[in-house]
Amino acid sequence: MEFINGGVVAAKGFYANGVHCGIRKNKSKKDLALIYSEVKASTACVYTTNKVKGAPLTVTKNNVANGYAQAIICNSGNANTCNADGIEVATNTCIALAKELKIDASDIVVASTGVIGQPLDIAPIVTAIPTLVSGLRDNFGASRDAAEGIMTTDTRLKEVAISFEINGVECKMGGIAKGSGIIHPNMATMLVFITTDCNITPEMLQKALSTDIQSTFNMVSVDGDTSTNDMVTVMANGMAGNAIIDSEGEAFDAFMKALNTITVDLCRNIAYDGEGATKLLECEVYGAKDDKNAKIIAKSIICSSLVKAAMFGADANWGRILCAIGYSGADVDVNKVDVYFKSEHGEILVCKNGAGVDFSEDFAKTILSDYEITIIVKLGDGDANSVAWGCDLTYDYVKINGDYRT
C-alpha cells in the first residue's frame, strides 16, 4: 500500500469538477462540486444522528436504498436544512444533473453544507450544471476543484489517495472531505466522499464503512456539536477488475485496511483544521478494560473544553485530563492512570498512578508548543486501546462562530 496523487479521481473511471455557481457571494470561492463514475457503483453511506437532518440526506437515503449510485453533487454556502421546500430543491437538483449526465436521477447522491435555515435558490445550481458536467476530468486538479467546492470555514484542502492490492490486482482509493466546525462524534460529523475502483458488493461495502467509522470519524471532535447535514459516502465501481468481494475473508480484510488508511488520514486533517485551531490533538488510550471504555475515555479527553484550552496555552495541566476521565462514565481505576505528553520535541510523564510527579514545566511547555500533540493515557485495567482526534480551543473559534452568518 502506498500514498499516491489524485484524490477522488485516482481510481479508474472517476471524474470530478468544482465551480462557483453563485450561492456564495465571494466569486473566488467554489461552491458546487461533482464526482462522477463511468459506470454505476456500489454505494454505502452513513448519516448524522442529529434528529434535525438536512433535506439532501432524506433524498440521498431514498436514492441509494438499492445500494448503487453514479454521481455525487454537493453545494456549499447553504445547508438546505429546515426549509419548507428543501426536499423539492434537493430532488430537482438530482433531476437537473441526471438530465445533463444522461443517467437516472435516483443514481445521484446529493449533499449540501453551510448556513442552516436559509432558503436555497436552485437557479444558480441548475444554471451551473452544464459547465460543471462539461468540466469533468480525471486529473489531480479535478479532485482539488471538487474539494474546494465543498469547503465552508475550512482553511485547507482535505484529500488523500492510495494504491493497494486485492489478490494481486492493483486497486486505488481516494477521498475528499470538508469539516472544520460542528464536528463531534456520532456519525456523521462532516462531509466525506470516497471513491474506489475495487469490486465489492453494496452489502459488504456498507459493512466495511459502518464498521470503520466506529474507530475513525466517530472519534473526531472539534466543538461538541453534531451536524445536521453531514454524511460519509463511499462509491466502488469495480473497474479495477478484482474478483468481487462478497463475503468476509482475506480480500475484505485488505479492503478494510485500505479504507481505514483513507479515513484516518481524513480524520487527522479534519481535526487539524478545526475552526480557529492552531494544534492537532491526538489522544491515545491504552490498557482499558474493553473497547467501549477505551473509546469513552479518549472521546471525553478530546472533547473537554478545559483540556483543549490548556493545549492552546501550552499548559501541562494534566489534572484536566484526569477530570475528563473521571466524569466520562467509563469503568476505570483512576489510581492506576498514567499520563504523558508527546510531540516532535519529545515525551514527558506528568502523572503516575493518578497523582502528579516532578517534571520540567519548561520542557513540557516546549512539547506542548508544537502544532501536533499526543496525549497518552495508560490505564492498566486491560488490553483495549483507542485513539481520538481533536484540536485546541482558541479565541478565533468564538470569533468565527460569532460572525458566521455575517
Tell me which residues are annotated as active site. Answer: 189
Distances (CA, A) of 67 to 73, 103, 206, 302: 17, 16, 9, 34
Under 8 Å between Cβ of 222 and 391: yes
Beta bridge partner(s), residue 142: none
Cell of 375: 496525549
Rounded to an integer, what is the distance from CA 43 to the centroid of its chain? 17
Burial of residue 17, with CB atoms counted within 10 A of its CB: 0-12 exposed, 13-18 middle, 19 or more buried: buried
Nearest alpha carbon to residue 173 among 183, 181, 163: 163
Task: Write phi, then psi, for 124 (nearest 5 degrees).
Answer: -60, -35
Under 8 Å between Cβ of 71 and 34: yes
How far apart CA 98 and CA 6 sit, in angstroms, is 25
Instruction: Fill in the DSSP letter of residue 294.
Output: H
Strands 231-236 and 191-196: parallel
